[in-house]
Amino acid sequence: MAVKIGNIDLGEFPLLLAPMEDVSDPPFRFVCKQNGVDMMYTEFISSEGLIRDAAKSVQKLDIFEYERPIGIQIFGSNIESMREATEIATKASPDLVDINYGCPVKNVACRGAGASLLQDIDKMVKMTKAVVESTHLPVTVKTRLGWDDNTKNVYEVAERLQDVGIKALTIHGRTRAQMYKGEADWSLIREIKQNPRIQIPIFGNGDVDSIEKAANWRLEYEIDGIMIGRAAIGYPWIFREIKHFFKTGEYLAGPTLSERIEVCRTHLHKSIEWKGEKTGIFEMRRHYSNYFKGIPNFKDYRMLLVKLESLNAINEVLEDIRTKFDEVLA
């Protein structure tokens, strides 16, 4: 049976790309879309930044037709600001608006936004209701199990947010206190999915970094789909590989060195197209080591790539990598 968010048909068991700060920009989303991701989100956008028309926040609203379906994710601590930000986000014509109630980082959570709302469910419900009433688009939420081990309240969160009109819920299987440490616990996610009151799609997130986990957890935790974050950085092929396994029960061969180079190059070109040569090249630097993970003695090349400032010079190094490592990896 197809999974639907409002009128958006995501197919039988969708794979979603997590919104990640400084990662989920249009160039990165482009290479994930090429590899079969079903649904993507922008980086999270500050509601206050949108209202103030801050350049960085406004630029994150950039979405492209080929990315659909795509959601714009917003966060904030003030209900009125979130209402206004929803109206601004709606004008950018995404397919849905997502609220971030999961971000654990200090400068978000300690300002009363992101995961900090898990400490005040009444306010979270009011804020969600305000967002739902401010747009004609479906509203979804991403959150965590709770603030800490003593307050795992996501079961209540799921029911109450569904009651005020959200159309899907993604749960990261950690508390805010855990940040990204330890193992994600999906057992509570399954309990929510099994709750007869819950009618909306429930997506699981946290630690899915292999075909085996995706396949096993799909069955074990009965979720409607999986959201993948860190495992897709430098490895957008994870979506393609999981989908192939679901379809055929067979493992797809990993990307060849040439393919890694081509996708890395595509990502770089898209980055330059979107941000201009200087910023585009600078922002690509964080991705090189991920694209070439596992290649022996790659460090010298990485050091070189993160210093270069022209597209031609980077292309030359990428060709050099192809020549040098093709024989090693053949």
Q: Is 103 a catalytic residue?
A: yes
- Return phi, psi of residue 323, to 5°: -65, -45
Amino acid identity of 257? Answer: L
CB atoms within 10 A of CB 183: 10
User: H/E/C letters for each residue in the chain?
Assistant: CCCEECCEECCCCCEEECCCCCCCCHHHHHHHHHCCCCEEECCCEEHHHHHCCCHHHHHCCCCCHHHCCEEEEEECCCHHHHHHHHHHHHHCCCCEEEEEECCCCHHHHCCCCHHHHHHCHHHHHHHHHHHHHCCCCCEEEEEECCCCCCCCCHHHHHHHHHHCCCCEEEEECCCCCCCCCCCCCCHHHHHHHHCCCCCCCEEEECCCCCHHHHHHHHHHHCCCEEEECHHHCCCCHHHHHHHHHHHHCCCCCCCCHHHHHHHHHHHHHHHHHHHCHHHHHHHHHHHHHHHCCCCCCCHHHHHHHCCCCCHHHHHHHHHHHHHHHHHHHC
Task: Say which of 32, 103, 110, 264 is annotated catalytic.
Answer: 103
Taken in order 228, 235, 281, 27, the sign of the CA dihedral is: negative
| Active-site annotation, residues | 103
